Amino acid sequence: MAEQKPPLVDMMSMAIPSPELRDKISALLPGKADFCLQCARCTSGCTAMRLLELKPHEIVALVRLGFLEELISSKSIWDCALCLKCVEKCPQEVAPAEIIMALRNEAVSRELEVPERLNAMLMSILETGLAFGPRKRTARDGRSYGREDMGLPEIKVGLSEEAMMALMELLGGV
């Protein structure tokens, strides 16, 4: 009988990898995390790198090892701007942004807490059709200017009934 190897354990958090969850997340991805060379090109192009607790290549490494429970409950997956620069830069087509989206989807399916700023943005889109409402800007001379001050037309807010139904269907009937 073959000798059973003890599972890999993260000695800092005492976390044990989850091969089942790793396989579930990997099945959703266009590229394989196992192809990652850890060259950090994805991190070198990351627009949110300074905000991230874990860099894109570190997230991929944790996925490869199966430490997904920590990632799913991490703030790092919500700080990603999803600019897709990591996808463009990866020589192995691993797509860290796709991994982060899969982790976010898993967090939402488990009903874990989503950052309030994202909830506020979603509500704004549902109510007005805009992620952020029109705001006044301050010029160098200290005066504030709005759209009307600059002769720009008023922005029509709100979604059509058809757009609202499509968005609700996309979001799973939120």
pTM of the model: 0.69
Please tell me what DSSP assigns to residue 21: H
Give pairs for 3-11: CB < 8 Å, separation 24+. Answer: 8/65, 8/66, 10/67, 10/70
CB 96 within 8 A of CB 57: yes
Residues 6 or more apart in contact with residue 69 via CB below 8 angstroms? 15, 18, 21
Alpha-carbon gap, residue 173 to 170, rounded angstroms:
8
> All domains of the chain, ordered by start, with CATH?
19-109 (1.10.1060.10), 116-170 (no CATH)
Task: Convert the pLDDT of each residue in 112-137 to its tens digit.
Answer: 888 888 888 888 887 777 888 778 88
Angstrom CA distances, 7 to 18, 68, 75, 127, stand at: 10, 15, 26, 49
Q: Looking at per-residue confidence, does 30 or 162 come out higher?
A: 162
How confident is residue 76, by pLDDT bands cut at 50, 70 and 90?
confident
* Tokens of residue 105, six digits: 């989807």
Fill in the amino acid letter for 163: A
Residues 6 or more apart in contact with residue 115 via CB below 8 angstroms? 75, 78
